[in-house]
C-alpha cells in the first residue's frame, strides 16, 4: 500500500512561523507520515533545476558529518553545528536528503531554497524562542521557492505559479505516494 500524503493551503500559525514576505508567497502544507528520502528528493528534482540550497541547522548525527566529509561535499559552516550546502548533482541531493530526513524525524527543521542569485552566507537562519525564524541577510526577491522540512511534512512557500495551489503541487510528488483527497484542498 502506498503512503498517503495531503496537500492544503497553510493556516496563519504556519505562515507566521517565518519572518518572510507574506504578500509575495503562496504557502502550502504537504503532510506525510514517516517522511522518506525518496519523497523529498523526488519532489525537489521534479520542481527545480540545480543549484538548490539546503540549510541544516544542526549536524547532531556523526553520520551526517561523515557523509559530507567522505563525499567532499562543499559545505558552508555557519555555526558550531549548522551547514548550508549548495546542491549541484543528483548524487549529492540524495545524500543530503538522507541527512535531512534523519534531522527532520528527530525534530530539527531543514530548509531548502531555490532561486536566482542566492549565496550560502545569505541563507543563515536566526532563531529566538519567542520570534519567527528569520533570514536577516536574505533578499527574498531572489527566492522563488522556500521549503521547511519537518517530521510531519513540508511547508512550501513559493512565488512560482506552477506550485501556487495544492492541486498543482500534487503533480510534482512521486507516483509512489497517493493523495489523501479527503484531507486535501482540491
* 111-149 residue pLDDT tens: 999 999 999 999 998 877 778 888 889 999 999 999 999
Place of cell 528534482: 45
Give me the count of residues in the chain. 186
What percentage of the chain has pLDDT greater than the value 90? 46
Global pTM reads 0.92
Distances (CA, A) of 91 to 45, 68, 96, 109, 162: 11, 12, 9, 22, 25
Grid cell in block for residue 119: 549565496
Q: Where are the alpha helices (DSSP H) in the chain?
A: 12-15, 37-47, 62-70, 90-105, 166-170
Tens digits of residue pLDDT in 23-67: 889 999 999 987 888 999 999 999 999 999 999 887 666 677 788
Amino acid at each position: 500500500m502506498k503512503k498517503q500524503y495531503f496537500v492544503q493551503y497553510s493556516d496563519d500559525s504556519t505562515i507566521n512561523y517565518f519572518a518572510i514576505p507574506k504578500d509575495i508567497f503562496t504557502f502550502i502544507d504537504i503532510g506525510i507520515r514517516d517522511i522518506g528520502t525518496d519523497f523529498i528528493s523526488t519532489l525537489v528534482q521534479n520542481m527545480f533545476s540545480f543549484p538548490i540550497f539546503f540549510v541544516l541547522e544542526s549536524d547532531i548525527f556523526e553520520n551526517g558529518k561523515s557523509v559530507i566529509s567522505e563525499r567532499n561535499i562543499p559545505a558552508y559552516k555557519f555555526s558550531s553545528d549548522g551547514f548550508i550546502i549548495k546542491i549541484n548533482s543528483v548524487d549529492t541531493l540524495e545524500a543530503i536528503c538522507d541527512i535531512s530526513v534523519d534531522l527532520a524525524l528527530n525534530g530539527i527543521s531543514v530548509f531548502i531554497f531555490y532561486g536566482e542569485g542566492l549565496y550560502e552566507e545569505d541563507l543563515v537562519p536566526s532563531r529566538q524562542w519567542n520570534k519567527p525564524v528569520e533570514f536577516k541577510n536574505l533578499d527574498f526577491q531572489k527566492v522563488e521557492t522556500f521549503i521547511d522540512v519537518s517530521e510531519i511534512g513540508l511547508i512550501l512557500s513559493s512565488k512560482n505559479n506552477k506550485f501556487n495551489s495544492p492541486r498543482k503541487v500534487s503533480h510534482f510528488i512521486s507516483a509512489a505516494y497517493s493523495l489523501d483527497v479527503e484531507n486535501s484542498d482540491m
